[in-house]
Amino acid sequence: MEKFLVLGEALTDCVITGEVVTETPGGSPMNVAIGLARLDHEVTMATRYGSDSRGVALANHLSESGVALIAEGNQAARTSSAQATIAADGSADYVFDLNWDLTTAMVPSGDVTHVHTGSIGATLQPGAVSVEEVLRREKEAGASVSYDPNARPIIMGKPEDVLPLVERLVGLSDVVKASDEDIAWLYPDTPREQVVSQWRERGVSLVVVTLGEEGVEAWSASDHVSLPAQVTTVSDTIGAGDSFMSGLLSALSQRSLLGKRSADALRGISREDLAEVLRFALTCAGITVSRTGANPPRSAELAS
């Protein structure tokens, strides 16, 4: 069975809608790990959280969805949090309180099929150094890699400061998924298609750009596919991109396009397969935005 390793932050989302505050488990990489596990994949998450009540809630949430944890995951000084204020259109503005001290030694080296990282944990020091080291280690061992910049300017600072690290992570990746907003922030004076071309020149086999209500575009070695977003009632957009990411990886995995000896197959993905992969990912995201918080679908929901 294929094994996924997800590296990055697990935190508590404090969602503020009007005068109502709701605390739910979150964090972009954690949402991806949950999404993959709910789609019946074997997933280990390398993250850090405290032994406080929020940390216990995170651990329970991961366990309930079938995600395994590294041994030292629960030994952080405190559990990180993100305060999300929901606007009338369902969009979210964030304020973060973060503690990210993952070390390479905390992440066991094993028979991993695919490694995913992204967002805060991929760029916030000191843990980001270890994330990059683990990606290099597992890629050398034969795993495929995916990356989602999921930019958070309030944490990452100026784009020119974080861009060298982002581009190193892109260069380690077989699959890169970014939003149009990520690209506009990282490369403010560069057309999107040029950024995609630059990333592909760094060795990325599949670049996917989500466009919010306008849908998604994807570039493989030989094809460009564009699909509209699926029509749904939006509760909020928290976790939509992460649910898309887990759906994308799941669909690629089902077609044996991740892991050892899959690089050529991924580069040569057919237009029909690429379109089906994107449709599945859009369906996962559509279910997530139809309900409150980062709550990706389970496989049974997609089969109904």
Complete DSSP assignment for 80-110: EEEEEEEPTTS-EEEEEE------GGGS---
pLDDT in tens, 55-94: 999 999 999 999 999 999 999 999 999 887 888 887 877 7
Asked if the structure places residue 245 within a domain, the reply is: yes
Asked if the structure places residue 302 within a domain, the reply is: no
Q: How far apart are CA 110 and CA 141, in angstroms?
A: 9
Q: Which two tokens stand for residue 104?
A: 């390479």
Give the residue ranges of DSSP H helices in 205-297. Answer: 240-254, 263-267, 271-289
Cβ burial, residue 234 (10 Å; 0-12/13-18/19+): middle
CA torsion angle for 173, 179, 185, 189 (degrees, to 10)?
90
Asked if the structure places residue 128 within a domain, the reply is: yes
Q: Which of 2-11, 147-156, 165-174, 292-301 has the lowest mean pLDDT?
A: 292-301
Q: Which of 36-40, 103-107, 253-257, 290-294 has the lowest mean pLDDT?
A: 290-294
Q: Which two tokens stand for residue 21?
A: 């505050």
Q: Which residues pair with residue 80 across a beta bridge?
A: 11
Give the predicted TM-score (pTM) of the model.
Answer: 0.93
DSSP structure class, residue 112: -
- Of 253, 247, 249, 259, whose CA–CA distance to 302 is shortest? 247
Q: How many CB atoms lie within 10 A of CB 240?
A: 26
Q: What percent of the chain has pLDDT over 70?
A: 99
**Residue 231 scores a pLDDT above 70:** no
Hunting for tokens 């944490």 — which residue is that?
155
How, if at all, do strands 92-97 and 114-118 pair? Answer: unpaired
End-to-end CA distance of the chain: 24
Asked if the structure places residue 264 within a domain, the reply is: yes
Q: How far apart are CA 177 and CA 92, in angstroms?
A: 20
Asked if the structure places residue 304 within a domain, the reply is: no
pLDDT in tens, 89-111: 878 777 888 999 999 999 998 78
Asked if the structure places residue 48 within a domain, the reply is: yes
What is the extent of the structural domain holding 119? 3-297
Q: What's the per-residue H, E or C state across 138-187?
A: HHHCCCEEEEECCCCHHHHCCHHHHHHHHHHHHHCCCEEEEEHHHHHHHC
| CATH code for position 64 | 3.40.1190.20
**Residue 1 scores a pLDDT above 80:** no
Per the structure, the count of domains in the chain is 1
Cα 301 versus chain centre, distance:
21
- Of 18, 14, 28, whose CA–CA distance to 84 is shortest? 14
Q: What percent of the chain has pLDDT over 90?
A: 73
Q: Are 195 and 208 in contact (CB under 8 A)?
A: no
Q: What is the mean pLDDT of the chain?
A: 92
Give the residue ranges of DSSP H helices in 11-52. Answer: 28-38
Asked if the structure places residue 36 within a domain, the reply is: yes
Asked if the structure places residue 303 within a domain, the reply is: no
Q: Are 12 and 24 in contact (CB under 8 A)?
A: yes
Q: How far apart are CA 200 and CA 219, in angstroms?
A: 9
